[in-house]
Structures are given as structure tokens and as C-alpha cells.
Amino acid sequence: MKKIILSLLVAGSLVSCSDNKFEDINSPVKNPTEVPGYTLFTNGAREMFDMMVNTSVNENPFRLYSQYWAQTTYPEESQYQMVPRQIPDSYWRNGYVYVLNNLVEAKRVTEPLLEDINVDSEEVTNQLAIIDICIAYTYLSLVDAFGDVPYTDALNIEILTPKYDDASSVYDAMVEVLDNSIASIVDGSAGFSDIQDPIYHGNVTAWKTFAYTLKFKVGVMLLDSDPSKAEALINASKDHIFTSNADNASIEYASTSPSTNPVWEALVQSGRKDYIVANTVVNKLNDLNDPRLFVFAKDPIDFPYQTKENGAGETIKLDSTFSADDVIGKVLIYTAEDGSDSVVYKTAPFTVTVAEEKKGVRLIEGGTYGTANSYGSFSHIGNAFYEPDLPGVILSYSEIEFFKAELAERGVAGYNSADAEMYYNNGIKASMAEWGITDATVIDSYLADPNVAYATAEGNWKQKIGSQLWLALYNRGFEGWTTWRRLDFEGFVAPPGLELSDIPTRFIYPIQEGTLNGSNKTSASSAIGGDEKTTKLFWDKN
């Protein structure tokens, strides 16, 4: 485990940099021999969020895999090329080195405090439970990316070639970790302090709710692969899960470095223009006249009239007619003579005439997914994502309400099909609120639209729930991709030259693992059905 050793050496360097001549005057507090557990936890928790929130093409291509964003100059990641940048290696390293190594070390340093009579043992117990909840989340994320991964032998400095554990057994182990954490949390006692805990700011009850909700999600993930186990997990947790956006597992980023949102760092601080909003999601938002369109995207472009040659060597514009076969609808922006904008939704079939050009007709247009796009020719990612302090989220209330809608349709764990619409609507409302859309008239109108209303929206329940959950997860690329993998709803497109069957269903194993841990990697590859990006994970049965 070369990567783990490197991390430990780095950690060691943080506590061994004093000059000998100061040894006699520096107190142990100022010259610690060991990094405190709370510092390691804080670092590990922040790295856990950064691992899932960041949008570096070298580490996290999931906003591309989920087809929320398109690329400009270099579209390789939208074409699912993993090897050139060794993306799986980076995700693996982030999980094991920067997250789990910090958390496991935090646990090792904290556990002896249980025997310290000068320390509140209940507070320490809660801290250990919180650390374990984060460990469980991280391992689940690794499994959901790769399949079988090292767990039993992982993070053991004496085992340089750890074996890979069966993915379903890691899931089982993480459920046990969550159960132990839930059982050990002492309600009413402290955990980490507000400053030490960047997620729930010392609220131990909130951590317990997060653990229950994560367990609930594990149950949902297993619905197709192990229905009885899934139902048992859901039944055991459903009364203790998120009930509002206030419960969301989120982190507050700062407005100044070094704790800014990694998305801002990629879009603004880098000075680069690598991403634009993708036509896949823009077309869906346009089709539904979705008010989130102007949150997720910005910068309308001039209406792209059709053109032809007039016979005199001149290109002239034509009326553009949209048939019902082309599009359900389009959100158009008209500019009045006084410069004010008005938004008009047109249901197909409709025609935009050349005569309307004087009204400055514009629309939100996404870049073509899977190809290189001109940054200036398409609409851009919404303003919220250009803010350095945009919160990062890894589990949300809206997500849970959509899970309930799914459970209602399946008739699992006491959820009734008659309530599917209610949960579906709750999920949409929670997503709207999460993005600052609170006008009840706007939301009610959206829910009543025949293309959105649960009773009349297109497709079966997987299509209805899956596509709306996908929209709600717009800033959570990994989960948007996972939702598509799990529910197989229609709407994703194949990049030019590829087929829908080429869209990845997992990360391939890290390239370096072939060199450092080749035998175990080969065994794991065989166990999952081949180390291919289109190999389905154990829970992906349909």
C-alpha cells in the first residue's frame, strides 16, 4: 500500500519539524508528538466532501458521466476515457489516502481516550461513532464506483498487497458499522465541537439521523439484488431518516481560500473555461418548463434560426418550426424595446418567425454532450456554481423523498402505491427549495403540468421518478450517474461515435493497482465479471 505509506509519511512530517534547540522550551502542546484525533477527523471529513464535490477531470468526472455538463476543448472524459488521466487512480487515492487514512488514524488516536479518567467517555464514544459513520460512507462510495475493493486488509501498513473484498460483503460490513454507531451514540452528550465538525457542527443527533438515512439508502440500493435484505434495512431505519432540507448532509465552504468549494476553484479560480451546461439536461429542463433551468444554467444565446442560401450568395434566416416529434416545448426569452425580458414557454408544434428577431429572441442552449464545444456559442453553468461558498451536499432530503416514491411503487416496507405521487411531489418541492425556488404558485404550476404531474408524466414509475431524481441531483454528479445506473430511465444520450451501451457502469480498477497489487486486482476483476467500465455492479440487476 505505497499510497498509504506516503500519506503516513506526510502526516509524520507535520509533527516532526521542530529544531532541536527549541526542544527544551517548547511544551508538548506546542510540539505534539501525535496529531490530535479531532484534527484528523476534520481533515478526513473535508476530504470526504471534496472527493465527491470536486469537478476535476483528473479525479471526478461524474458531472460529465451524469450528462449535466459538457466539455469545451478536451471532451475525452465525456467520451469515457479513463486511462489517459488515470482518473480511477485519483478517485481511489482520494478515498483511501486522503479520506480513510485520516479517519482510521483519527479513530486510532481517539480510542485510548476512553480509558482517560480526565476525559468525558461519552463524548469520546460519540466522536468514535461519528468517525465510523464517515468511514462507512466512504467505503460505500468506493464500492459504488468500483465494485469489489480492499476492506479487510486495507489501511494496514504491514499488508502491502491487500486482497479485495466482495462488494456485497463490504456493504454488509458498512451496515454493521452504521448499526454500531447508531447504538453507541449517547444522546444529549457532546461529540466533536462546532469548529471540529464541519458537517453537523457538533449536533450528535443529526449525525445519528444521517447514519439511519445512509442505512435507508443502502436498503434502496439493494432492492433489485437482495429484496429481503433491502426491506429489512428500510424497515429498521425508515422512522429515523431525513424529514427536511435542514437534515441534509452538507458542508459549508468558505468565501476565501483555502476552504472554498472545489467547483468554484475549477470554474473561476483556475481561469479556465472547460465546462458548459450539457444539452442533455437543458433539453429536459426546457421540455418541462422547469424553473430550475435558470438556476442550473445562465447566459441565453440568440435564437438559432435555420438558414439557407438565397441564390445570390447570401445566407438568409428562415422561420423555425418545431414539431411535436422534435421537442415537447421550449423556454424562450424575448426582449422588449425598454430592454426588459419576458419568458415565454411554447409547446410544440410552434414556429418562431424571422419577424420576431427584432424582439431579441433567445434561449438556453446546452453544448452537445460528448464533443468539443465552443464556450462562447452555448449557455453556461448557472451563477450559483460560481460562488466560492456554495455548500457541498452528499445526501439530501429530496433524494429520500424520491426513494420513498420508489418504495411506494414497489410496495416495499409498508409504503403504499397510493402515496407515490405525494412522495414524488415532496422530492420536487424539496429540490426547488434547495435551489431557492420557493414561490408556491410557480411550484404548483410546475407540478400540475401534464408532462410533470405524476399521473400523466411520460413513462413508467422508473422513468418518472428516475428522471426527476436525476434533475434534483444536478450538482451531485456521482449520484446522478448512480440513479441512471440503478433505474435505467431514458434520457441519456450516446456521445458521437458511441452507443448507449458504452456509457460506464463503473470505474475500471486503478492502473497502479496492476503494478503494486496485480494478483489481487486480477482476482477481483475475475470475481466481478471483468475489469471493464461497462461491467455492472452487484446491485445493478436490471
Q: Tell me how many helices (H) and strands (E) the chain has.
A: 19, 14
Query: What angle (nearest 5°) sits at the alpha carbon of residue 26, between those of residues 20 and 31?
Result: 85
Report which residue type is found at 184: S
Q: For residues 201 and 194, what is the distance between their CA atoms, to the nearest angstrom?
A: 4
pLDDT in 10s for each residue of the chain, 542 residues: 333 334 443 443 333 333 443 333 344 455 556 899 999 999 999 999 999 999 999 999 999 999 999 999 999 999 999 999 999 999 999 999 999 999 999 999 999 999 999 999 999 999 999 999 999 999 999 999 999 999 999 999 999 999 999 999 999 999 999 999 999 999 999 999 999 999 999 999 999 999 999 999 999 999 999 999 999 999 999 999 999 999 999 999 999 999 999 999 999 999 999 999 999 999 999 999 999 999 999 999 999 999 998 888 889 999 999 887 777 789 999 998 888 999 999 998 999 999 998 899 999 999 999 999 999 999 999 999 999 999 999 999 999 999 999 999 999 999 999 999 999 999 999 999 999 999 999 999 999 999 999 999 999 999 999 999 999 999 999 999 999 999 999 999 999 999 999 999 999 999 999 999 999 999 999 999 999 999 999 999 97
Report which residue type is found at 124: V
413: left (phi over 0), alpha (psi -120 to 50) or beta: left
Give pLDDT, residue 325: 77
Q: For residues 203 and 363, what is the distance between their CA atoms, to the nearest angstrom?
A: 44
pTM to 2 decimal places: 0.93
Handedness of CA 320, 322, 327, 328 (dihedral sign): positive
Pairing of strands 329-335, 306-309: unpaired
Give pLDDT, residue 53: 98
Q: For residues 282 and 274, what is the distance between their CA atoms, to the nearest angstrom?
A: 18
Nearest Cα residue to 189 out of 130, 241, 134, 132: 130
CB 333 within 8 A of CB 361: yes
Give pLDDT, residue 33: 65
Class of residue 500 by CB neighbours under 10 A (exposed 0-12, middle 13-18, buried 19+):
exposed
Give pLDDT, residue 11: 40
pLDDT tens column, 311-362: 888 899 999 998 877 777 899 999 988 889 999 999 989 999 999 988 999 9
Nearest Cα residue to 474 out of 62, 141, 56, 60: 62
Give pLDDT, residue 28: 46
DSSP letter for each residue of 232-284:
HHHHHHGGGS--SGGG-EEE---SSTTS--HHHIIIIIT----EEEBHHHHHH
Domain range summary for the chain, segments of one domain joined by +: 2-227+510-528, 276-384
CA dist 343 to 138, 327, 330, 364, Å?
Answer: 43, 18, 10, 11
CA dist 22 to 17, 45, 173, 207, 365, Å?
Answer: 11, 33, 47, 42, 63
What is the CB neighbour count within 10 angstroms for residue 130?
28
- CATH number of 2-227+510-528, picked from 3.40.50.620, 1.25.40.390, 1.20.120.550, 3.30.450.20: 1.25.40.390
- Beta strand ranges found along 7-88 (DSSP E): 69-71
What is the maximum span of the chain, computed from C-alpha positions, in angstroms?
Answer: 94
Give pLDDT, residue 31: 52
Cell triple for residue 143?
464500492
Nearest Cα residue to 100 out of 161, 174, 33, 163: 174
Cell triple for residue 150?
480492499
CB 273 within 8 A of CB 391: no
Q: For residues 1 and 253, what is the distance between their CA atoms, to the nearest angstrom?
A: 31
Lookup result for grid cell 450568395: 313
Lookup result for grid cell 454507531: 181
CB 511 within 8 A of CB 86: yes
